[in-house]
């Protein structure tokens, strides 16, 4: 198997190839991350494409499942990938708006197309045309039961990068330092640095971090570098200087949480996923925001958040929008991690259906919802989410079950 560095050099040809489909070039293989395009999804799509490359005649094409311009909303991903791929190769990555997906599907019907889904196990509602072409799945979310034809590895670990790392360990034994750093970063982010209190890390996440860490070329720490870790990231241009997993985590986590300058619309679209659920079909959208609700309300006001959500529901053609806010906020002078949840319905959803959905969510033990305000007015409903360990991986299945129960 050729090295990761040689694989990275092939990335530059991918976008050209996807825009030159008038000339058949054999069967295509895409490795597609999920539409939230977070760090885990991006890294996993790149690393899985590399893992698959020895088994294919032509290199698989990793796809970053967001628009190129939207990387401005993801500084932590930009920093990690620029450091581990180098600037030229980062710019050579293929984003979902760099080519016409409809043309790729048409090409697939004539000449062959295989799609590997990573960090999700069914195509997004806006990419359902890919479903017949799904050949493989590597994911850590609850199985939606679709794509029955696909080879699947679905395990509820903390990070999808853990499963890709395991695959690379079984075939290679070792990986290059750049790839090791790239893989360990999302595992740390998704598990809050393997924190036992966050209850996200599994034994396999810990095992893969233990395998990856010795392969990273860490910088030699300066005397004050550890003390600076918690205050770094403001002017960081590279991760070559980091000397430990703790410093790597702190820099990326701080960058990920720097969202207070974003507009309400950018907050809603930065980490967003959408599904079609139930019969009749509900279109469900869930935004995850690293910004506590009380801070957002203080900045924008409850009225302005309501207006932004109503516009978002309309623009995305949703029946229901959920906004998950999370992070640390002061309680009695101490910063404590917590979660909040906002639920907004389309005007077309009648009040009785809204009531039944909200009642079902209130009863869900996975959510642990409590009123955020003493009084609820018309419009979006605001909750404290006491089950802080429940991320979107747990919230979506809970909401899906409630919606599906409407027609039972």
Q: How high is the pLDDT of residue 230?
A: 55
The C-alpha atoms of residue 304 and residue 292 are separated, in whole angstroms, by 16
Residue range 217-233, pLDDT digits in tens = 998 876 555 455 555 54
Taking the CA atoms of 211, 35, 92 and 151 in sequence, report the sign of the dihedral they define.
positive
Q: How high is the pLDDT of residue 226?
A: 47
**Total-model pTM:** 0.91
Q: How high is the pLDDT of residue 376?
A: 74
Q: How high is the pLDDT of residue 209?
A: 98
Asked if the model's pLDDT at residue 234 lies above 70, the reply is: no
Position 238 confidence tier, pLDDT thresholds 50, 70, 90: confident
DSSP 140-152: -S---S--TTSEE
Q: How high is the pLDDT of residue 235?
A: 64
Residue range 1-19, pLDDT digits in tens = 779 999 999 999 999 999 9
Q: How high is the pLDDT of residue 231?
A: 53
Residue range 269-279, pLDDT digits in tens = 999 999 999 99
Q: In 3-state terms, the chain is what percent helix, strand and coil (to 5)? A: 45, 20, 35
- In degrees rounded to 5, what are phi and psi of residue 404? -65, -25
Mean pLDDT of the 38-61 span: 95
Position 258 confidence tier, pLDDT thresholds 50, 70, 90: very high
177-190 and 203-212 are packed helices; what angle lies between their axes, rounded to 10 degrees?
A: 150
Indicate the average pLDDT of the chain: 93
């Amino acid at each position: 198997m050729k090295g990761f560095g040689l694989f990275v050099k092939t990335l530059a040809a991918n976008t050209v190839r996807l825009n030159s489909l008038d000339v058949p070039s054999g069967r295509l293989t895409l490795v597609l991350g999920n539409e939230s395009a977070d760090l885990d999804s991006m890294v996993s799509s790149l690393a899985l494409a590399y893992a698959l490359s020895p088994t294919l005649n032509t290199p698989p094409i990793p796809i970053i499942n967001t628009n190129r311009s939207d990387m401005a909303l993801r500084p932590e991903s930009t920093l990690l990938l620029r450091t581990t791929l180098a600037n030229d190769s980062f710019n050579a990555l293929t984003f979902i708006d760099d080519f016409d997906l409809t043309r790729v599907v048409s090409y697939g019907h004539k000449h062959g197309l295989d799609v590997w889904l990573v960090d999700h196990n069914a195509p997004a509602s806006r990419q359902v045309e890919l479903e017949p072409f799904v050949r493989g799945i590597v994911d850590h979310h609850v199985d939606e039961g679709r794509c029955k034809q696909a080879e699947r590895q679905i395990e509820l670990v903390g990070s999808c990068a853990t499963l890709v790392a395991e695959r690379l360990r079984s075939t290679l034994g070792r990986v290059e330092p750049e790839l090791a750093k790239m893989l360990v970063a999302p595992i740390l982010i998704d598990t809050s640095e393997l924190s036992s209190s966050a209850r996200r890390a599994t034994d396999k996440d810990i095992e893969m971090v233990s395998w990856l860490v010795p392969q990273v070329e860490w910088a030699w720490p300066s005397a004050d570098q550890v003390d600076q870790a918690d205050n770094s990231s403001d002017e960081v241009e590279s991760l070559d200087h980091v000397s430990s997993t703790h410093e790597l985590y702190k820099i990326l986590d701080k960058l990920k949480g720097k969202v207070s300058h974003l507009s309400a619309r950018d907050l809603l679209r930065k980490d967003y996923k959408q599904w079609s659920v139930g019969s009749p079909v509900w279109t469900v959208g869930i935004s995850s925001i690293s910004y506590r609700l009380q801070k957002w309300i203080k900045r924008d006001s409850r009225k302005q958040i309501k207006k932004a959500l109503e516009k978002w529901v309309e623009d995305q053609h949703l029946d229901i929008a959920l906004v998950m806010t999370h992070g640390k906020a002061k309680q009695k002078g101490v910063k404590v991690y917590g979660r909040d949840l906002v639920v907004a319905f389309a005007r077309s959803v009648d009040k009785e259906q809204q009531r039944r959905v909200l009642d079902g969510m209130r009863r869900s033990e996975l959510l642990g919802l409590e009123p955020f305000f003493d009084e609820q007015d018309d419009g979006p409903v605001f909750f404290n989410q006491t089950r802080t360990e429940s991320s979107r991986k747990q919230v979506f299945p809970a909401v899906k079950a409630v919606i599906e129960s409407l027609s039972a």
